[in-house]
Amino acid sequence: MQAFTTLTSIVTPLELSNVDTDQIIPKQFLKRIERTGYEDYLFFDWRQDPGFVLNNPAYGGSHILVAGKNFGCGSSREHAAWALEQYGFRCVIAPSFADIFYSNAGKNGILAITLSEAEVERLLLQAKTADGYRLTVSLESNTIEDESGFATSFQIDPFRRDCLLQGLDDIGLTLRHAALLSAYEQKHDTENWLLARA
Amino acid sequence: MSQAKTLFEKVWEQHIVAEPAGEPTILYIDLQLVHEVTSPQAFEGLRLAGRRVARADRTLATVDHNVPTDKDRIHIKDPIAAKQIEALRKNCAEFGVELFDVNSVDQGIVHMIGPELGATKPGMTIVCGDSHTSTHGAFGALAFGIGTSEVEHVLATQTLPQSRPKTFRIAVEGELPHGVTAKDIVLGIIGRIGTDGATGYAIEFAGSAIRALSMEGRMTICNMSIEAGARAGMIAPDETTFAYLEGRRFAPKDADWERAKQEWRKLPTDEGAAFDRELLIPAHELTPYVTWGTSPGMVVGVTDVVPDPSLGETEADRNGLARALEYMDLRAGTPIEEITIDRVFIGSCTNARIEDLRAAAKVLAGYQVHANVRGMVVPGSQQVKAQAEREGLDHVFREAGFDWREPGCSMCLGMNPDILQPGERCASTSNRNFEGRQGKGGRTHLVSPAMAAAAAVMGRFTDIRTWQYRTASREAEVLA
Ligand code: SF4
């Protein structure tokens, strides 16, 4: 996983609440067995509309997406995080995120930042109206700043922050507890009602 | 004495492997269910890292999302879908995972087969790379959907790092009004708290109306807890749970069964245990519901009208509501009962269990599907299909003009050939009405099985509470 430290980028405004993962990556692309090559399918149906924000050249090369509340709701498909990351989005800012998406984002080096509704509305407005509106997001200092004096800080779980800063792989982290796991398993396996096949 | 605990806390605490300081809890996973869509990249990850499946005996797989639902479905015409299913077969063979393939008598939607096989049991932790894993919570299991990296993590270690969700008790008290079903309970809850109303919480559904439900109804409710954003939905196990599980293939037998029941009886929330949040819903306030928009929270009673988007709180909300109306081609103020439909889908892991099919068939008996409507029934599993055929329900559906198909996810998400055409409007017993969910440009209205069947006959939504049941055929008499 790619580490996340500091990022400065143009901001793409997606002024919609409840953007679901069916929209982020429509089902027809879930049949692939590969883990790469999803960038062209990000928001595939919405991109058919020439007016859709990703089709606006003003936001070309953007790495930061700002959206309405409950971003990433619906299906657990990690393809949504793959598509965002492979398209180039390393940071998504919204008033709230759906749980599974939030976790998938972190595992793919995407920093998902929760800000207040008011702050997000402000960022959306700026990104829509100010030409080339840019933000600098620093995970090292937990801050977001623009170039005209707006600055705020954000909260993030310290463990998740560490993993992102260092680009750590979860399985490796868990296997540090192998001894505890085998002791647990030995005892747990004797409880027959908790076996998959009793 | 130890302090009073909730059902969630008991299951969570029994599965803690490690609690490293400042890090998420390492939680033991009793059962992982696997299907073709979210697993190929996980198995590939194992292979690349030279890892094995840690506990193949705690892993079960089936094919459901992609499989066609016609008779000749062994030969999948879509080459990409065929490749994905082939990949699952190879992965299961290579890693020693039991697969309920398309020709198995136990094949079905992943959230149907766990309970049917008795693999889903109270007190377990269960995961699957599918958000509707919450279904299994109906048995008093802690069950939740995960992403593909997490699928790989569980395959490799049989554990998952998890931060502890908060607890949320939703009590539905009293007797359900006539015509109001489990589906309406959960749609009513989502309508009240919103699609992000339970984000960060594990819900426990409680109260007399929940306890009175069958396992089928409880599964419908827990299934859709994810549509309220919840990490999981749970219902305390009781005699109804035990009666459902007894004798099933992977359920404990004989002395083990008695022992298991003893343990399961310790699981329900203790008197006086505290929840982070509580909500009480009087059952008599619930009605049959119909979603009008493109999110399950966009829902109103069948006798209501399509709401006005200007009532949204923020600009992003108002945009979302207006966009939903436009996508659904509806106008604010239109009575729900005036909305005409083209298709009816009875299926999905929300409402394709035997009881759902019985409810729909009871409505359809002696009626014909409206001339403008195409109806389709996709039983959730081979076991349900066989049971329905033993009861003659397939005849009732066929006589009414419905298409009777093979089990799978089908038009719940339209990854197989069963899809809506652009502009088609569907009354569906599934769980998501997102844009394009059932086919690009398709419009989905979520309803209960009985409401879907009644809409099929009328060609528009209608209030099931006033339905005139007929018993025209012999099968229908048996049902009534
Ligand atoms: S029936 Fe629908 S919701 Fe259920 S597992 Fe299949 S696609 Fe998902």
Confirm or reject: Cβ of B409 under 6 Å from ligand 1: yes
Nearest to A18 among B123, B195, B415 (CB): B195
Confirm or reject: Cβ of B130 under 6 Å from ligand 1: yes
How close is the nearest chain A Cα to the Cα of B217, in Å?
21
Whole-number Å distance, alpha carbon B339 to ligand 1 midpoint, is: 26
ipTM: 0.89
Strand order from edge to edge, sheet including B443-446: B402-404, B374-377, B343-346, B425-428, B443-446
Alpha-carbon torsion (A13, A18, A19, A23), positive or negative: negative
For residue B25, which of A165, A159, A195, A106 has the smallest C-alpha distance? A159
Confirm or reject: Cβ of B378 under 6 Å from ligand 1: no
Nearest to B44 among A35, A104, A180 (CB): A35
Phi, psi of A117 (to 5 degrees): -55, -40
Mean pLDDT of the residues in chain B: 95
Whether the predicted pLDDT of B477 surpasses 70: no
B139-150: pLDDT as tens digits: 999 999 999 999
| CA–CA dist B193, B5 (Å, integer) | 25
Confirm or reject: Cβ of B113 under 6 Å from ligand 1: no
Mapping DSSP to helix (H, G, I), strand (E, B) and coil, where does residue B36 land?
A: coil
Lowest model confidence (mean pLDDT) among B40-44, B64-68, B70-74, B151-155? B70-74
How close is the nearest chain A Cα to the Cα of B314, in Å?
8
Whether the predicted pLDDT of B423 surpasses 50: yes
Phi-psi group of A74: left, alpha or beta (phi > 0 → left; psi -120 to 50 → alpha; rest → beta): left
Model confidence at B362, in pLDDT bands (50, 70, 90)?
very high
Q: Which residues of B touch A155 (CB under 8 A)?
A: none
Model confidence at B1, in pLDDT bands (50, 70, 90)?
very low
For residue B16, which of B225, B161, B170, B155 has the smallest C-alpha distance? B161
Phi, psi of B219 (to 5 degrees): -65, -40
Q: Do B263 and A16 touch (CB under 8 A)?
A: no
pLDDT recorded at residue B49: 86
Model confidence at B476, in pLDDT bands (50, 70, 90)?
very low
Name the closest residue on chain B to residue A96, using Cα atoms.
B196
Lowest model confidence (mean pLDDT) among A19-33, A136-150, B207-221, B307-321? B307-321
Q: Do B256 and A188 touch (CB under 8 A)?
A: no
State the closest ligand 1 atom to the C-alpha of B64, by its place in the atom list counted from 1: 6
Residues in chain A: 198
**pTM for the whole thing?**
0.93
How close is the nearest chain B Cα to the Cα of A9, in Å?
23
Model confidence at B479, in pLDDT bands (50, 70, 90)?
low
B401-422: pLDDT as tens digits: 999 999 999 999 988 889 999 9
Phi, psi of B460 (to 5 degrees): -155, 170
pLDDT recorded at residue B430: 98
Q: Do B317 and A68 touch (CB under 8 A)?
A: yes
Whole-number Å distance, alpha carbon B33 to ligand 1 midpoint, is: 13
| CA–CA dist B360, B450 (Å, integer) | 5
Model confidence at B74, in pLDDT bands (50, 70, 90)?
confident
Q: How far is CA B270 from the centre of its chain?
A: 27
Q: What is the mean pLDDT of residues A110-116?
A: 98
Give me the residues of B, 134-163, that contact A with CB < 8 A.
145-150, 152-153, 156-159, 161, 163
B205-239: pLDDT as tens digits: 999 999 999 999 999 999 999 999 999 999 999 99
Whether the predicted pLDDT of B480 surpasses 60: no
Cα diameter, chain A: 64
- What topology does CATH give the domain A6-166? Aconitase; domain 4 (3.20.19)
B3-23: pLDDT as tens digits: 899 999 999 999 999 999 999
Whole-number Å distance, alpha carbon B128 to ligand 1 midpoint, is: 12
A121-158: pLDDT as tens digits: 999 999 999 999 999 999 999 999 999 999 999 999 99
Confirm or reject: Cβ of B348 under 6 Å from ligand 1: yes
Q: Do B434 and A23 touch (CB under 8 A)?
A: yes
| CA–CA dist B42, B48 (Å, integer) | 10
pLDDT recorded at residue B95: 98
Domain boundaries, chain A: 6-166, 168-198
Give me the residues of B, 346-385, that contact A with CB < 8 A.
none
pLDDT recorded at residue A192: 83
Q: Which residues of A touch B418 (CB under 8 A)?
A: none
Nearest to A22 among B17, B84, B436 (CB): B436
pLDDT recorded at residue B128: 98
For residue B385, which of B373, B368, B374, B397 has the smallest C-alpha distance? B397
Name the closest residue on chain A to residue B56, using Cα atoms.
A196
Share of residues in chain B with pLDDT > 90 (%): 92
| CA–CA dist B187, B225 (Å, integer) | 10
Q: Do B260 and A198 touch (CB under 8 A)?
A: yes
Give me the residues of B, 190-229, that contact A with CB < 8 A.
195-196, 199-200, 229
| CA–CA dist B376, B173 (Å, integer) | 34
Model confidence at B2, in pLDDT bands (50, 70, 90)?
low
Q: Do B22 and A159 touch (CB under 8 A)?
A: yes
pLDDT recorded at residue A143: 98
Name the closest residue on chain B to residue A48, using Cα atoms.
B440
* Helices first, then strands: H and E counts in chain A: 7, 7
Whole-number Å distance, alpha carbon B409 to ligand 1 midpoint, is: 5
Q: What is the DSSP letter of B390?
A: H
Lowest model confidence (mean pLDDT) among A107-116, B74-83, B114-123? B74-83
B178-194: pLDDT as tens digits: 999 999 999 999 999 99
Q: Do B157 and A159 touch (CB under 8 A)?
A: no
Out of B409, B430, B446, mutate this one to test ligand 1's pocket (max ligand atoms within 8 Å of CB): namely B409
For residue B197, which of B234, B170, B173 has the smallest C-alpha distance? B170
Q: Which residues of B touch A81 (CB under 8 A)?
A: 147
pLDDT recorded at residue B472: 56
Looking from the CA of B35 toward its CB, the CA atoms found within 13 Å total 32
Confirm or reject: Cβ of B415 under 6 Å from ligand 1: no
